[in-house]
Structures are given as C-alpha cells and as structure tokens.
Chain A
C-alpha cells in the first residue's frame, strides 16, 4: 500500500495515453459483458423451458380448426389443451408492436408459472373485451387496471373498423422471469366473434402432459391424428422448440468464445504496448529507484501493480456500468 502513490504517479505520467487505454479496455469489457449476458440469457431460457409443455402448430401454415382441441384432449397423457389465436397490431405508433393472445382460462392451466388469481380469471371471462396484461408491457406503455387500450390491426372487425379496444382488467407476472412477462391475454371468443375471417380456428394449441418422458410419443400421436386432414399439425415440446430457435441463431457459445478470444488478444497488445512505452520512458526513474535501494522484485511488483491497476479498474468500470 505504501507504494500506491508511486503506482498512481506512474499511471498518470501521460494522462491522455492512460485515459485512452482505460477507455479501450472499458469498451472491450462492455462487449464481454453483453456477450456473456446474452449467453446466460439463452441458458436461462432453455433451463426454464419444459418438456411437459407441448405446442401443436400448423405444419404448413394453414390455421387449425378449434375442434382439434377436443380430439387432442382425448389422447392419453394430455392433461390440458389451451387453444390460442394471436392477433398482431400496434399501439398508437406503428413502431409500438403488440400482439394479443386470444385464449381462455386453460391458458393459465398450461402456463402455471403465470400468477393470475381465480377472481381475475373470472373477471376476464365476464369482461368480453378484457385483457390481462404482462407486467413488462404494462410498465412500457404505462397501463393500469381500468385503462383501455386500442390496438390497430390488419384484421378487420365486424363493423369494418381495424381498431380493437381492450380493457385492462389485471396485470400478470411470471414466476419464471419476474418483471419480464410481456404477453397480453384476451378472450378467444371476443376475437373469434369480431373478426370477419378465419373464424373457429387456432394458430396454436398449448398442451400439458402428465409425463415429460412421453413428450415425443404424445407429439407423434397428435400429429398422426391429423396427418391426413386439411390442416396437418406439428407438435413439439417447449424445450425442443426453444432449442431449435437458439440453434437457428447459431452456436452462441462459439460466437461468444471467439469474440472473447479476439478481445483478450487485442487487450494483451494494447496494455502491453502501453506498459512497454511507459517503462521505456521511465528507465532513468527506475534506475533512481534501484539506486535508492529498491530490489529487482520490488521494481517488478511496481510494474505489475501498474498493469493490474490499468486493466482491473477499467474492466470493473466496464462491467459495473453494464450491470448498474
């Protein structure tokens, strides 16, 4: 600690050079933090996904008749079948993209991580235009219970208007990702009655099964059931669905490691060059220190201390600025 002033003085001998080096290291570690964050985000997304939750989607894009739900529910092992129809649009500005999920209380039985009370579900059932809004969306647009929000959609209503208005009856939270729930759940019946086309269809069935180990077998049974129909299905577990989504983006771990390797290599040269220049410029000063009795090991410690201070302070500043 008593050599701290010496280290400090050595670092700030050329303030501009030190500042630029610190900024470079900071930027490198901000990049590191973002990549590590994305990597961790994907890992946690996969860890939260379930094998006992299946998605039945249209195999070729044609929406599925809502009656598929009853047939799927009869397959042994299926405990919940929730139909869903997603209606996209925007709120106020075309850049504010939102989508509402037309479904019913079975949606919450299939997604048990969402915390909604029985009273709130009952209110949704009674309020035709009711909407239970995810906490993240409510926070983003400043919506509160009792508010109305219009959604401009490409799907016309019976009255010719394309503006769908909903009443916020509750705010929902997800136990798996606190503060991040963004879905908007509305009554399927309301969407189905009001839309002028595509009546009585669903774009997805969300299922729960009693045994995650039978996910593949049950998926196959469902798809076989509708294989020769006008709307064949493709059933996949939530985990498989997310894994294929992540794999589609690419090998995230490889990208992260490759960028980190490049960053570390660049930093090595950057800080090495800075320290080399600094030591070269101060050769007479080190000679004076040695004359005064500084041993070789103390001189080495001084140089290392400068190098560590330069890197560690900048890295800490970069990482803390990211997480704060």
Chain B
C-alpha cells in the first residue's frame, strides 16, 4: 500500500515502513488483546457451573 501511496501523492517518498513499526504494532496489538481479554477471562473463570448449566 505504501508504494501505491508514493505513486499517487507527490513527495510521499518520505513514507517508509520501518520494521520497528511492525514490531511496535504487534506489541501494541498483544497489549490490547491482553487488557481487553482480562475482564471476559475473569468472568469465565468465576462462573458457577451449576448456575451456568441451569441457564441462570
């Protein structure tokens, strides 16, 4: 996509995709995944088997 941007926008040769951005992006994704999964995971851990199976 960046080569496409470079062709369309004059002077967009500035735009580069450094490997550190990919690593940072993945680290950010993992952090978001852990934080956003925390509450649902706790809920799943604490559920009462009897109540859950009874649909209560």
Contact = CB atoms under 8 A, between A and B. Distances in A.
A288 B50 CA distance: 10
Given A29-B29, A36-B25, A268-B35, A288 B43 contact: no
Contacts, number: 157
A267 B32 contact: yes
A311 B35 CA distance: 11
Interface in A33-81: 33-34, 36-38, 40-42, 44-45
Interface in A271-296: 271-272, 275-276, 278-280, 283-284, 286-288, 290-291, 296
A62 B2 CA distance: 39
A264 interface: yes
A287 B53 contact: yes
A324 B42 CA distance: 38
A32 B18 contact: no
Contact of A315 (B7, B14, B29): B29
B37 A37 contact: no
Interface stretch (A145-153, A203-211, A297-305): A297-305
A156 B7 CA distance: 30
Given A136-B13, A323-B2, A40 B32 contact: no
Contact of A312 (B20, B21, B30, B53): B30
Interface residues on B, range: 35 or more
Given A42-B14, A303-B37, A319-B26, A264 B32 contact: yes
Interface of B: 1-2, 5, 7, 10, 13-18, 20-22, 24-26, 28-37, 39-45, 47, 49, 52-53, 55
Contacts of A136: 13
Given A311-B29, A311-B30, A323 B22 contact: yes
24 contacts: A30-B1, A33-B22, A33-B25, A34-B5, A36-B21, A37-B21, A41-B16, A44-B16, A264-B31, A268-B32, A271-B36, A284-B53, A286-B44, A286-B47, A287-B47, A288-B53, A308-B30, A308-B37, A311-B33, A312-B29, A312-B33, A316-B26, A319-B17, A319-B26
Given A41-B15, A321-B1, A323-B17, A36 B33 contact: no
A314 B10 CA distance: 30
Contacts of A318: 25
A310 interface: yes
A142 B47 CA distance: 66
Nearest to B11: A182
A37 B41 contact: no
A36 B30 contact: no
